[in-house]
Amino acid sequence: MKILKTATALGMVLSLQAGSGLAADADLTVFDWAGYEDPEFFAAYIDEHGDSPTFAFFGDEEEAFQKLRSGFRADAVHPCSQSVPKWIEAGLLAPLDTSKIERWDELEPSFRDIKAYTKDGQSYFIPADWGNTAVTYHSDHLSDADVASLHAFADPKHQGRISIGDNVDDAYALAFLATGVKDWTNATDEQFQAASEFLRAVHQNVRTYWSDGASLAQLMQSGEVYLAWAWNETYSTMSYEGHPIAIKRDTDEGASSWVCGYAKLADAPGSEDKFYDFINAWLEPKTANYLVNNWGYGHGNAKAMAEMNAEDLTAMGLEISEDLKTKTLWQAPVPSELREKMIAEFELIKAGF
């Protein structure tokens, strides 16, 4: 597969800081991760309305949750799977009118039909993008054998040369995997404590917790960081640009997989019609091809994905199969009590406690 990149533009959009905004169409505000304001994701919306939506950005989902709870208003939001039940119960999300989502039936059923995304028979979540969090390394400094195990992240010889995301879900996915847990939905308190202790060991080696793909790419390009726990995007973009960056999903303990998507916010101030126009643009095959080819992520439109080259998707770790869930830690929704403990403990670990 020829992966076409617009590296300069991509770096610019990814460098936007969380919490900043990008004003455009005042009738639709999208609360999103920085980088997803890329107009190629919703080209049909621009064709119809002549402008992009207005975007506001968050750095992680807990920040987004707290900001929304504090009264910030938007129309659409881009959470990931493990946050959705909490947001539904908090009353932040509105039920979807799936009859207005033109490609609803084309969405991957194993993502779309998860019970945790529904309440009283109504759906609240539109799976849009998915991928892996995996070992990503600078091959001028490390070999495949050096990163055969996730315990490399806690090895003192790598002190100051590693980075993991400033993201509680990815951090604990790493830690649970490293301590032998592939299904965190029923993790015991003992397993949670073991995972937390692993993260404390990793913290001793962390040069910085990365917050976006552009900042991590800069660290890895220079070799300042040579080992990272990163999303597909870092490997896809940097390897295309010719940097000696490799990804290893088949460590002794495995890798992690996740799904994110869009939801409609309760009490949305903007246009409901434009919300559905935005979603329909996102679910078009054209968008799916762009997401896969330019970002290295999978798309929620299973029909569009099925029309892509299967061998290429497998090589990129984007084949939906039983292995995706049995050989990875799938970031499925966890019990709210466990998630709150993960959030609180991760903040302590980053602070050095």
Give the separation between CA 186 and CA 193, rounded to whole angstroms: 14
Q: How far apart are CA 73 and CA 317, in angstroms?
A: 36
Nearest 5°: CA angle at 155, between 338 and 219? 85
Q: Are 31 and 324 in contact (CB under 8 A)?
A: no
Give 283's contacts (C-beta < 8 A, 6+ positions apart): 101, 102, 103, 106, 107, 126, 128, 300, 301
Token pair listed for 5:
């990149």
Q: What is the pLDDT of residue 184?
A: 95
State the DSSP H helix or E strand holding residue 285, giving kind and residue range, or none if neither: helix 285-290
Strands 76-77 and 25-33: what pairing? parallel
The pLDDT, as a whole number, for residue 316 is 79
- Which pLDDT belongs to residue 268? 96
Instruction: Quote the pLDDT of residue 190.
Output: 98
Residue 171's closest CA among 317, 346, 347? Answer: 346
How far apart, in whole angstroms, are the C-alpha atoms of residue 305 and residue 308?
A: 5
pLDDT computed for residue 32 by the predictor: 96
Q: Where are the beta strands (DSSP E) in 14-173?
A: 21-22, 25-33, 53-58, 76-77, 93-94, 118-119, 122-123, 126-138, 162-165
The answer to whether residues 54 and 30 touch, using CB atoms and an 8 Å cutoff, is yes
DSSP H helices in 1-153 = 7-14, 43-49, 61-69, 84-89, 109-112
Question: d(Cα 156, Cα 98) in Å, to the nearest integer?
Answer: 51
Predicted TM-score (pTM) of this structure: 0.85
Question: Within the chain, which residues score under 70 in pLDDT?
Answer: 1-23, 320-326
The tokens for 188 are: 């015991």
* Distance separating alpha carbons of residues 154 and 78, to the nearest angstrom: 32
Q: Could you tell me the sign of the dihedral formed by the alpha carbons of 84, 321, 212, 309, in that order?
A: negative
Close Cβ partners of 323 (under 8 Å, ≥ 6 residues apart): none
Q: Which amino acid is at 352?
A: G
- The CA distance from 210 to 223, in Å, is 15
- The pLDDT assigned to 324 comes to 57
Cβ-based neighbour number of residue 215 at 10 Å: 18
